[in-house]
Structure 1
Amino acid sequence: MGIFSVDGVSWSHSRALLRPSFDRANVSDLGQLEGFMQIFFSRINELPRQPLTHTRAVELQELFQCLTMDSSTDFLFGDPIGALASKKYTLGNGEMAFDKAFDIAQYGLAMRAPLSSFYWLYNGREFRKACSTARAQVAIYVSRALRKLNLAEKKSGEEGLGKKYVFLEELAERTQDPQVLQDQVLNVMLAGRDTTAALLSWTFLCLARNPEVYKKLRAEISAVVGVDEDARLPTQAELRSIQYLRWIIQEVLRLYPPVALNARRALHATTLPYGGGPDGNSPISIRKGERIVYSVFSLHRRTDLYGPDANEFRPERWGEEALRRIGWGWLPFNGGPRICLGQQMALTHASYFVTRMMQVYKEITPKDFALADDSYDTKLVMASGRGVHVFLF
């Protein structure tokens, strides 16, 4: 049972177990990410150029899912599984490929979530097989991490300064329980892989629809780290200095929060300050044990918080005084004691991937249907229902 499936003391223990690993994670080491970007670019360059325009038609959402699968497994296990290099990839010798098993298991969890305490009603054979396969393949890496830890303990003073950070190995220093390690790593992967892919996908769909925003961002990136033949790899400090990039990511997370719905259960009888009564301004009584579902998607589009253009993509709003203290009105990473542990890492990785794309491609335009109204594929993570079909120049 990982951090996202427990409450109370069990949750506190999971949080305490995971926090040091994220605190010590070297998210400023961007060298490994560049290796994945080079494979990413090569996948795009394999596609044929369009006649006359010299553009390439690309479905970015699928590629971003492969990119974040590789970057997340490299961070967690110390090795990427090769999602970008091949359409079929595994972590071990299971009958079902890991990507398929992971996606089927994730879909099953999304089907179970609305059932609440009756989650067990969704328990088909394919779902059970997928969960078993994913666990068995992750267990290979858990065993390797434990063996490596035991070996390191026998060799005194072997703490190489250039040692690569591996989340699982860091976690294994605090617990050697294989089941706990499997549970926690799968929970972290579930939270990090598709959410970052969704953020990247919605970002480039918005940029394709708004060429003036793309042009302005590329100009700022050019001024900081260069573009085209003058491009150089950005550092974390340089990524943080590109203010317009931060505004764009904040705006995408506002309009398209990866986790669009969330829920909490009351530990004690309490009240919500408003939302009840004919005018919606009266308190609501909440009984002990009652489950409250809230929509982050709806919260982020409230006109009383974001103005009459709350449904529009306008990154500049984040430079206005009205949003400097938005507080609990912006919750893509949740808040309070359960705020996302991997927030900084997710923002760093997304900023790096966006910047490198902008350095390479001068223009991005959507295919016809991408200009239509949004279509949502909402399971555990809210992705684009149509993908992200664009032309890259």
Structure 2
Amino acid sequence: MGIFVVDGISWSHSRALLRPSFDRTNVADLSQLEGFMQIFFSKINESPQQPFTHSRVVELQELFQRLTMDSSTNFLFGKPIGALTSKKFTLGNGEMTFDQAFDIAQHGLAMRAPLSSFYWLYNGREFRKACLTARTQAAVYVSHTLKKLSLAEKKAEKEGLDKKYVFLEELAEQTQDPQVLQDQVLSVMLAGRDTTAALLSWTFLCLAKNPEVFKKLRAEISVVVGVDENARLPTQAELRSMQYLRWIIQEVLRLYPPVAINARRALHPTTLPYGGGPDGNSPISIRKGERVAYSTFSLHRRTEVYGPDAQEFRPERWGEEALRKVGWSWLPFNGGPRICIGQQMALTHASYFIARMMQVYKEITLQDSSSVDDAYDTKLVMASGRGVHVLLS
């Protein structure tokens, strides 16, 4: 089983198995992302053009989901599934593509989550078929990878052939158990694909609502890597040097954490230090097996931590002394031993995609003024309930 559904020794083994594949040097290669960005830009250019202007009418959220599906499958499997180019990637029956199956299966998991121990009550035919499709296709990649890592090909690699980094291949160097490989790679995709798409979607929704922030960010990117005809592809070091970009991403993750609600179950009897009693300052007793749910969304908007303007989008707050040691009050990647091991990859990829968009487009505005107020589509990942309908020019 994957890392997110096991505890104890099994979890420790999964964590140790996956951690080396997320080493910083393994996620620093940005060259492959640019190919997906070029397809992404071409899809925007196919969008309707606003009359008498050069602006394109675009729904970015769906495009970002397709972008991150291709970039994540390329990282995990060594090749994209073609979500951006709308190529069908089926089992041969023509009924369901891998990305469609993945979306349906993920929706089903979101429906099962509140049912807790009664998750099995949600088990419809479409959900079962989607799970089978996703697992079967993952098994195809696993089988191909194990064959590729045969002794003959390992010998060829040692003779000097360039080797592209592929997550599944690195994982297969540590275990050749097909079921383990399949479970782990699907778990990583589940954790990383829609969360990054949600971060990108909320970021550009915030930039469209806050033109002064957009201008300030574009000015920073212009200084570091140039924009328009002077633009050059950013390196990871250059992305990390962009302070205002980092503040914007932190602020978006604060207001719109991809995983807005999470839960843990007590392995032993314990207590929470406060939250009980009439004033909320007394300990709370937690019995073994009890489930404790918590809202990251609410935590990130507490005025006692983030000030009276906690509900507002203001990236500059991250440069203020009050947030130098925010600690456990900012948890978009969770914390402690189970902190997200893909955090660096998610931030690097999101930073690259944002920077490239800012290099190409001079303005972004909301297509419909009625979309100023937020709407939430909260399943496993919190997306915008209205999408991200904007004008790009």
**Same fold judged by TM-score > 0.5?**
yes
User: Taking structure 1 as reference, are residues 153 and 79 closer, same or farther at Cα in structure 2, changes over 3 Å only?
Assistant: closer
Cα RMSD (Å):
1.4
User: Taking structure 1 as reference, are residues 67 and 157 closer, same or farther at Cα in structure 2, changes over 3 Å only?
Assistant: closer
- The residue aligned with 2:92 is 93
Whole-Å Cα distance in 1 between the matches of residues 58 and 119 of structure 2?
38
Asked whether the 8 Å contact 2:110–2:380 carries over to 1, the reply is yes
- The residue aligned with 2:112 is 112
| Residue 286 (structure 2) pairs with residue 286 (structure 1) | yes
Asked whether the 8 Å contact 1:92–1:140 carries over to 2, the reply is no
Structural mapping, 1:179-190, within 5 Å:
179-190=179-190
Whole-Å Cα distance in 2 between the matches of residues 44 and 160 of structure 1?
40
SS at 2:365's partner residue? strand
- The residue aligned with 2:381 is 381
Whole-Å Cα distance in 1 between the matches of residues 111 and 386 of structure 2?
21
Q: Deviation at 1:48? A: 3.0
Q: Deviation at 1:266? A: 1.0
Question: Which residue identity does 2:212 align to in structure 1?
Answer: E
User: Taking structure 1 as reference, are residues 205 and 156 closer, same or farther at Cα in structure 2, changes over 3 Å only?
Assistant: closer
Question: Which residue identity does 2:362 align to in structure 1?
Answer: K
Q: Normalization by structure 1: what TM-score? A: 0.97
Asked whether the 8 Å contact 1:25–1:165 carries over to 2, the reply is no
- The residue aligned with 2:172 is 172
Q: Normalization by structure 2: what TM-score? A: 0.97
Question: Which residue identity does 1:360 align to in structure 2?
Answer: V
User: Taking structure 1 as reference, are residues 218 and 308 closer, same or farther at Cα in structure 2, changes over 3 Å only?
Assistant: same
Structure 2: gaps spanning 5 or more residues: none
Structural mapping, 1:57-206, within 5 Å:
57-86=57-86, 88-90=87-89, 92-93=91-92, 95-152=95-152, 155=155, 158=158, 160=160, 162-206=162-206
User: Taking structure 1 as reference, are residues 92 and 31 closer, same or farther at Cα in structure 2, changes over 3 Å only?
Assistant: farther
Whole-Å Cα distance in 2 between the matches of residues 223 and 161 of structure 1?
38
Q: Deviation at 1:169? A: 0.4
Asked whether the 8 Å contact 1:93–1:137 carries over to 2, the reply is no
User: Taking structure 1 as reference, are residues 169 and 92 closer, same or farther at Cα in structure 2, changes over 3 Å only?
Assistant: farther
Whole-Å Cα distance in 2 between the matches of residues 369 and 263 of structure 1?
36
Asked whether the 8 Å contact 1:92–1:137 carries over to 2, the reply is yes
Q: Deviations over 1:181-207 (max 9, x none)?
A: 110000000001000000000000000
Whole-Å Cα distance in 1 between the matches of residues 154 and 167 of structure 2?
21
Structural mapping, 1:1-393, within 5 Å:
1-23=1-23, 26-86=26-86, 88-90=87-89, 92-93=91-92, 95-152=95-152, 155=155, 158=158, 160=160, 162-369=162-369, 371-393=371-393
SS at 2:26's partner residue? coil
Q: How many residues align?
A: 392
Q: Deviation at 1:213? A: 0.1
* Greater shift in the superposed pair: 109-118 or 15-24: 15-24
Whole-Å Cα distance in 2 between the matches of residues 154 and 164 of structure 1?
13
User: Taking structure 1 as reference, are residues 16 and 363 closer, same or farther at Cα in structure 2, changes over 3 Å only?
Assistant: same
User: Taking structure 1 as reference, are residues 24 and 243 closer, same or farther at Cα in structure 2, changes over 3 Å only?
Assistant: closer
Question: Which residue identity does 1:79 align to in structure 2?
Answer: K
Whole-Å Cα distance in 2 between the matches of residues 249 and 50 of structure 1?
29
Question: Which residue identity does 1:321 align to in structure 2?
Answer: E
Whole-Å Cα distance in 2 between the matches of residues 295 and 324 of structure 1?
22
Question: Which residue identity does 1:67 align to in structure 2?
Answer: L
Question: Which residue identity does 2:357 align to in structure 1?
Answer: M
Asked whether the 8 Å contact 1:89–1:99 carries over to 2, the reply is no
Whole-Å Cα distance in 2 between the matches of residues 244 and 152 of structure 1?
49
Question: Which residue identity does 2:146 align to in structure 1?
Answer: L
Q: Deviation at 1:363? A: 0.2
User: Taking structure 1 as reference, are residues 268 and 225 closer, same or farther at Cα in structure 2, changes over 3 Å only?
Assistant: same
Whole-Å Cα distance in 2 between the matches of residues 153 and 368 of structure 1?
55
Q: Deviation at 1:73? A: 0.3
User: Taking structure 1 as reference, are residues 156 and 82 closer, same or farther at Cα in structure 2, changes over 3 Å only?
Assistant: closer
User: Taking structure 1 as reference, are residues 250 and 91 closer, same or farther at Cα in structure 2, changes over 3 Å only?
Assistant: farther
SS at 1:126's partner residue? helix
* Greater shift in the superposed pair: 65-74 or 4-13: 4-13
Asked whether the 8 Å contact 2:90–2:96 carries over to 1, the reply is no
Asked whether the 8 Å contact 2:368–2:389 carries over to 1, the reply is no
Question: Which residue identity does 1:44 align to in structure 2?
Answer: I
Q: Deviations over 1:342-365 (max 9, x none)?
A: 000000000000000000000000
